Structure 1
Amino acid sequence: MELITQNLPQALMVFGIIALIIEVAVLGLSTIILLFLGLSLFSTGLMMSMGILPDTLPTALWSNTIATTSLALVLWKPLKRMQEHVDKKQINSDFAELTFILQTDLSPQSEVLYQYSGINWHLKSKQPISAGTEVMVIKKEVGVMWVTPTL
């Protein structure tokens, strides 16, 4: 503890960087709170090392409390909005262009399974497809392959 208090500005900057690394690298900006704390710890340590703030524990406590609260008030809504933005664009991959011969008849209401890569996939189609037709995967969901006849 004495080592930390003797080198308080440097310790605060190190703790701030550690909090930022955990937030970004480990948590992927999912909590945002460590981001505010890391920024306030680093900025307080920087201001102490520049002589703007005295390097005492009460100053560090109050400075971090005020900085964390201020950052949260200013950045909370923009960062939450950034987190909620989800890209709904369908990704085309080699898996999506898989073609095979349908073994049984498939209709929009039927339950047909297809084993691929050791997993039983449910096949779905918007139109009826008869057995023996070559089909292509056009869309994939969790456990489901949407297929259409190849042309």
Structure 2
Amino acid sequence: MTWFNEHYAETLLVIGIVILAIEVVVLGFSTFFLFFIGLATVVTAGLMYFGIVPETWLASLMSISVFTAFFALLLWRKLKSLQSKVDNKRADNDIVGHSFVCPKDIDPLLPLHELPTYNYSGISWRLMSEVPIKAGDRVAVKQTDVGILHIIQVA
């Protein structure tokens, strides 16, 4: 315990870096609270190292609290705008373009729970089409959604 008290600033620096690493690496920068706390802890450790803030529990907690609030006020809008940029492009996967013989007739007017299914890679997919398709016709996957294959008829 005496080593901790003798190296309080260095310990806070390591704790701050670990908090920042958890926020960025593990959580993927999804919450900003740990980022603000980690940044405040690193700044407090630096101020303690240079003797500006005394190396006590109370001083460090107060400094971390003040800097956390300061960084939150200063950086919140900027970081929030970084998260608002969303890529709406559909991700392609290996099943798009896969062709097979349609097992049953497909009618685009059928409700979802009545659509025929096709087993692929251990998953039972619902088959959906914009136009009617007869059983035995050759089809290809145009797009995928969760549990649904959007198919088109191929020659």
TM above 0.5: yes
- Identical amino acids, percent of aligned pairs: 38
Which of structure 1's runs of 4+ aligned residues deviate more than 6 A? none
Task: Tell me which amino acid in the other structure corresponds to 1:116.
Answer: Y
Q: State the match for 1:52 in structure 2.
A: 52
Q: State the match for 1:94 in structure 2.
A: 94
- Correspondences of 1:1-151 after superposition (within 5 Å): 1-110=1-110, 111-151=115-155
Q: Which runs of 5+ in 1 are unaligned?
A: none
- Aligned mates of 1:97, 1:61 — CA distance in 2: 58
Q: Is the 8 A contact 1:36 1:68 kept in 2?
A: yes
Task: Tell me which amino acid in the other structure corresponds to 2:127.
Answer: L
Deviates more, 1:125-134 or 1:33-42: 125-134
- Aligned mates of 2:46, 2:40 — CA distance in 1: 10
Secondary structure at the aligned position of 2:95 is classed as helix
- Aligned mates of 1:145, 1:85 — CA distance in 2: 28
Query: 1:15-58 deviations in whole A, cap 9, x for unaligned?
Result: 10111111112222222111110011011101221233332323
Secondary structure at the aligned position of 1:90 is classed as coil
Task: Tell me which amino acid in the other structure corresponds to 1:123.
Answer: L
Task: Tell me which amino acid in the other structure corresponds to 1:39.
Answer: L
Secondary structure at the aligned position of 2:109 is classed as coil
- Aligned mates of 1:57, 1:13 — CA distance in 2: 14
Q: Is the 8 A contact 1:23 1:31 kept in 2?
A: yes
- Aligned mates of 1:24, 1:113 — CA distance in 2: 41
- Aligned mates of 1:79, 1:107 — CA distance in 2: 47
- Aligned mates of 1:95, 1:75 — CA distance in 2: 42
- Aligned mates of 2:123, 2:147 — CA distance in 1: 8
Task: Tell me which amino acid in the other structure corresponds to 2:131.
Answer: Q
- How many residue pairs end up in the alignment? 151
Secondary structure at the aligned position of 1:129 is classed as coil
Question: How much does 1:59 deviate?
Answer: 2.2
Cα root mean square deviation, aligned: 1.6
Q: Is the 8 A contact 1:121 1:145 kept in 2?
A: yes
Instruction: State the TM-score, normalizing by the size of structure 2.
Output: 0.88
